[in-house]
Structure 1
């Protein structure tokens, strides 16, 4: 398309197009990725004017769009989009290497002045010397012209059959060279795309405000992968494509990391990756690393399928993933990566047993996970995945204790989880995902305190969770993980404040709860969870107005106004649930809610 056309393509000379034209297009993609806008504004321009713009106009510097985009990244993008192709990266591989250097905090090659640039600088400093050299070059050129004419004359005397044979050989060699060049270009582009899809997102994952960049990665990556999947003709390439699909699925909707909230999209990407892995696994059942990759893919898919209410399929995937990992662990008993995966799956299998009501089996799996993590921490106490996994095991145990009514044990386990997670953050491993885990721990500890009628402790715990989420939403309002979680925090703080008689705090938090739900429902009308929470937020406001009426009982007129406000919010709650029912989004557990609301209203 015009937006990615290089200056030489815009000039219309097909013989001037080579791999550096692809480098220019990749430079445009990098520019768009970083600035969220095209380097050249071609909208509404006639074709001739658009082509002139591509050939002649320079894009705005990235620092003029965003002051933080100065330095190496700007230099890399500028070099990739040089008007003179000789001054660009000479291949997509060179561009990819510089991107990798930047991601690894190493000096980039693009910082070094080109030979042409150095000569120009030299010419400005040494005009007399350069003039003499130019005269010498002209003299040599004249001699070369004479030699060329002599060679041409001799060439014309060659036998016609010899010329034809030479042309045929040359044509064959040219075709082979073109095919080899096309294969090299394809391989270079594939490698660079791998950098953008698989390596760039982990670098921005915990950066505030990175949501738009993630959307760009997903949109561009899916289009690229869907095309590449059809052309994947070897197992290595199929494996790379599968891995990239899982990376994009994580960005789209994996809940344990900042994501775009697109769970259906995540499952579609995972499914494509799984299909490729299943084919590879079937052809190489003895490949342990491949079986491990498949188990990880099945497990990640299970997490998202649970969120899509496909529990039976999720459980099947989880059990199969566990069996594959047990086989890998038996073959590689000292492999740290396999042990980490196995420990994670022990926790997941514990969750499955807990859902099935088998508390003993669940506890056994959770303790097995802790033991595996402990083995790794004995070797390397700083291993961050093992440290997070150990903390997660306590959180799983706390949920199990909550389910069986062992409140004090659950409180102790959540306190340990919070302590371990805070140690991780204080040790320099702060990230969006870890802070999300910490906020979840504070919320669940608060719920336990509230169930034990310790509302002051509950309020303190809920407010700590809310503070974490407010900072996350402020840093990136489009972070769907934080935007979803903060709704619960507003509700919890409001409920506990109401129980403690802190009316102003309760009202403010309930209103924030409703506003947060309204924003999600406006953006995602089919989001059943958000629609339900919006209805619940109206009920919470009705409760607040009812409590306000009771506290103002001595003032009959004020109490009446408050009761009317409570009734209005009950109507809004009922209407919201009725709309949910009509759209087929009503949860089975809410089947009797409309009857309950009608009784309360009447």
Structure 2
């Protein structure tokens, strides 16, 4: 009696299983791991094991094998039986089969009895996949999807168990997304560079949300990033485990089901070689490949055009080809961003998707990107270690570097005048200054003067370019960016400044006028609108006519709030909108009103933390909002300001402990510590009050010591010390203090005021001070006179 021959369906199912196991096995590098893996997956099925080993051997030995029809399985997958239309699965009715994978089929369904209701996509485990490990992976996927809640991610609707003839089968229902791959949409809509980058930022926002929820996508590619008819971006297939991701490779790779090569093009080296644990940087790499394809029109490396072993070798040993080699019109900054995102050493990539998105956003606003192509901080630091230099000498070295800029600028002028095709070269000079040198020098102690020189050079060069006929939007945006940088570094803008408020206002007013004109010509460009909002907001802090400051602050907030409503997936706009609310809340407190805008700002920051996780940037925003609301509540006499001060100190202190020690964290923490000290002083807790005062003073004194020329840091140090003065005065007024203790506190308050006056003056004549510095100096002198009078009266009483 002869044995029964397997049916065609059985043979096809076995081929699918062999191909799936072979793909998973190819990712294992060690032979011992492979042997254990194939034994575990094939169990006692010697025939299946032989098929798997044959496929692996051919894939590694024969160039181009993976692209041959031998392992392209669309006819097998397409022939697998699916559910008939009308079949009931849980509370749903099947409309049609959308696609099939190695582990599950995906159907379009509608609620049972409601054929006109909104359709959803139902993912149903295949009968042949209902084994324990696949079921566990499916449950993990559902659990993961349940943690994701973002407008850019296809949401989970429902999950359950379908009792079919073949047995229990798990299913999950998800939002049905009708769209096309992002690359196809960009090509069909003929999107320009800025539009493509704006679209890409929406993808980053969705992926960043998933990362904050502990989910790594692992399979980012155009077919998993769809754009709908309403131009909404939706990222699909989140939450899959490593094995599920490999299952998807069998079905959705190069556009035709069953091709085994497409997803490889988006794999990071560590993901492909599986030599170390995977982290979020594998998604950063895949996003880099996606952006490369979005801008260049093809992949940086195409595994379909070479053997799989050669592709893996290149992935491990060679950097991705520069995009400007195939797309020379891509700006240099964007090329640098791509190179960093796709670096084969993940330690040199962006540490997270937020960092990648932040640099894209900076480029769109013509701000400095955070890539250190010319690492001045490193070079100067190395020189400082070789020959220890004082802060002034380091600044002199930075200024000496600046001296070479006029020659570069003159060469750029001549290039523009001689040959129009070199316009990009000249703009690159400005971008190098604005996007690299300014940010690098910002990290150096004592570099404020040098940064102003760089900014002045950038403005001179770009002005000459525009006057020479460079009126394209990028040149005009660069002109605005250069003027913005000059305004920021010149005077009172809330940034590290040179103290020249008049020059700052002039630069920023000119930048506002240019940004408004640019928006008239390009009214639909949100990148230019974002740039205008930033300049308006900086102008609000540059002093002068208070009504003008109020007007620009309100306009900036209005633009950011509008952008946040239109693009809720863009973190930057929402952070900026929240920040404007923080500052307007402080103004409400100054007017004697309850700071309702501060309340709204904290609500928005809290919502951002829920959506994106407690990132350092969001925690800094929360800490800063707590500090400003505490001061606003203090001004209107509401006791809740103590709670805000303590909460702000807790958030900012944790950031400092984690190594996030930028000047914003330090300054806001110092203010919170001072406010807490003032509370303790009014309660008579002398030890705690003085400890808080000492801590707040130490924070800002050390910061100022790193750059005594920084006008903002001088002002903030003096203001923090003014709280230390108030602590001493509160202790002197405490009813439990003796006459001797009061005299001591008043003397200390006078000493603090002398230090504050010295900080503002910094060995300068009063005529050399900015308007804000003159105002502070006058108020400090008045305060000293009042305290001295109080001290003299106390001394007279004692006598």
Q: Same fold (TM over 0.5)?
A: yes
Q: 1:337 aligns with which of 506, 527, 543?
A: 527
Contact 2:585–2:598, Cα closer than 8 Å, also in 1 = yes
1:416 positional shift: 0.9
CA distance in 2, matches of 1:218, 1:401: 45
Instruction: Look up the match of 1:417.
Output: 601
Find 1:465's aligned residue among 639, 648, 651. Answer: 648
1:215 aligns with 2:377: yes
Residues in 2 aligned to 1:522 and 1:241: alpha-carbon distance in whole angstroms: 33
Q: Which residue of 2 aligns with 1:583?
A: 763
Q: 1:551 aligns to what SS in structure 2?
A: coil
Which region of structure 1 is more displaced relative to structure 2, 389-398 or 524-533?
A: 524-533
Alignment counterpart, residue 455 of structure 2, candidates 270, 286, 301: 270
Q: Is residue 2:575 matched to residue 1:388?
A: yes
Match of 1:449 in 2: 633
Q: Deviations over 1:157-183 (max 9, x none)?
A: xxxxxxxxxxxxxxxxxxxxxxxxxxx
Q: How many pairs are equivalent?
A: 415
Measure how far apart 1:546 and its partner are. Answer: 2.3
Q: 426, 430, 439: which is aligned to 1:251?
A: 439
1:112 pairs, out of 309, 316, 337, with: 316
Local SS of the residue matching 2:612: coil
Given candidates 421, 424, 447, the residue that maps to 1:236 is: 424
Q: Which of 543, 546, 557 is equivalent to 1:357?
A: 546
More helix by share: 1
Name structure 1 gaps, 5 residues minimum. 1-70, 74-97, 115-183, 554-558
| Structure 1 position 532 matched with structure 2 position 718 | yes
Q: 2:748 aligns with which of 548, 565, 569?
A: 569
1:249/1:355 CA distance change after superposition, 3 Å: farther
Match of 1:296 in 2: 481
SS at match of 2:491: helix
- Corresponding residue for 1:117? none
Deviation of 1:362 (Å): 3.6
Tell me the equivalent position of 1:497: 680
Paired with 2:676 and 2:335, the residues of 1 have a C-alpha distance of 44
Show CA shifts across 1:189-211 (max 9, x none). Answer: x979984999699947999xx99
CA distance in structure 1 between the aligned counterparts of 2:635 and 2:758, rounded to whole angstroms? 32
Which residue of the partner structure matches residue 542 of structure 1?
728
* CA distance in structure 1 between the aligned counterparts of 2:658 and 2:534, rounded to whole angstroms: 30
Alignment-derived partner of residue 690 in structure 2: 507
User: What is the TM-score of this pair, normalised by structure 1?
Assistant: 0.57
Which of 411-420 and 238-247 deviates more? Answer: 238-247
**Given that residues 402 and 453 in structure 2 are in contact (C-alpha distance below 8 angstroms), is that contact kept between their aligned partners in structure 1?**
no
Match of 1:440 among 621, 624, 642: 624
Give me the whole-angstrom Cα distance separating, in 1, the residues matched to 2:749 and 2:578: 41
Q: Distance in 1 between matches of 2:563 and 2:756?
A: 50
- Tell me whether 1:321 sits opposite 2:511 in the alignment: yes
Q: Deviations over 1:309-349 (max 9, x none)?
A: 32222222222212212221121121221222233345455
Asked whether the 8 Å contact 2:729–2:745 carries over to 1, the reply is yes
Change in Cα spacing, 1:276 to 1:470, as seen in structure 2 (3 Å) is: same
Whole-Å Cα distance in 1 between the matches of residues 539 and 755 of structure 2?
Answer: 37
CA distance in 2, matches of 1:344, 1:453: 33
Computed over aligned residues only, the root mean square deviation of the Cα atoms, in angstroms, reads 4.7
User: Structure 1 residues 300, 465: CA separation in 2 closer, same or farther (over 3 Å shift)?
Assistant: farther
Task: Please state how far the C-alpha of 1:534 moved relative to its aligned partner.
Answer: 7.5
- Out of 657, 682, 693, the residue aligned to residue 474 of structure 1 is 657
| TM-score calculated relative to the size of structure 2 | 0.44
Assess, with a 3 A threshold, how the Cα gap between structure 1 residues 299 and 225 changes in structure 2: closer, same or farther.
same
